[in-house]
Amino acid sequence: MYDIVIIGAGTAGMSAAIYAQRGGKKSLMLEKLTYGGQIINTPDIENYPGIAHISGYEFSEKLYRQASDLGVKLEHGTVSSVEDEGGLFKVKTGDNSEFTGRAVILATGARNRHLGIARENELVGKGVSYCAACDGMFFRKKDVAVNGGGNTALGDALYLAGICNKVYLIHRRDQFRGAERDAEKLKVLDNVEFVLNSTVTKLNGDTKLESIDVTDKNSGAVKTIPVSGLFVAIGQEPENGAFANLVNLDAKGYIVAGEDCLTGHSGVFAAGDCRTKSLRQLTTAAADGAVAATAACEYIDRL
């Protein structure tokens, strides 16, 4: 029996756990993979206030140790359902484990969005990747492509430009959505080529990726670009299906909750990238965790 069950052990989940424990509540984090979430694969974080440079791994490790030292417990498992049993919440995982809490914080984050084209799944690990920090070194001194126009895509291109022979940055629009500073850095690099107003439409190669077909959205012209690797960075999508009976989801599957992290279901709170919000960053995830845990503590105190 826990006061607060936190589903997800990324930045939002671990921040929530810290605030829950400091609020005198017994909390449990449930995580299907490893603590830290997607940020753990980021080689260099530069935009967290007060910390000029830190790796995602080190940041996550420090956050986890802080939570662990306060007494937070971490269990691994994929949550399959959350049921409200008259004020107590029963959380079930895929291995049939059950945990009970007086309040629940949903902090499941979001996963990388796929292109949705033929052979994409087949070539994952054979040239197609969703994490430049994880797989970039496999393509050292080779030609690669990055698909996307946000901060993640620009960051991936910068990282890969430092280790690869050539980087093609493919974006469906004529301007990037990511930080202008990073775009300007890329513009002056000799081994980076922008391929704008274009989309990846075909993956070529027998047993591994050998080239990609890119279609110009304006002219319809198709050109083949020889690459050994394609890094897909076109955004994220949430995995909130298991909670659809408990909270409202928007058209994209995000939990409907505002800056107060209230879901509309008494005793259930949402924090981090899994909820509706205008900015999904490390700082907003940490802030959400603090807000959600404080609200959950106040809710329990009123019971």
Measured distance CA(159)–CA(136) in Å, rounded = 8
Catalytic residue among 3, 135, 156, 273: 135
Respond yes or no: is residue 164 known to be catalytic.
Answer: no
Respond yes or no: is residue 134 known to be catalytic.
Answer: yes
Evaluate whether 185 touches 158 at the Cβ level (below 8 Å): yes
Q: How many CB atoms lie within 10 A of CB 226?
A: 14
Give, in degrees to the nearest 5, the angle at Cα 147 between 141 and 152. 90
| Residue 118 CA neighbour count, 13 Å, CB half | 7
Runs of H (alpha helix) within the chain: 11-22, 56-69, 132-135, 151-161, 180-187, 282-302
Catalytic residue among 131, 143, 182, 213: 131
Tokens of 128: 């197609």
Catalytic residue among 44, 69, 134, 250: 134
84 contacts: CB under 8 Å, gap ≥ 6: 246, 265, 267, 268
Respond yes or no: is residue 301 known to be catalytic.
Answer: no
Measured distance CA(46)–CA(181) in Å, rounded = 12
Catalytic positions: 131, 134-135
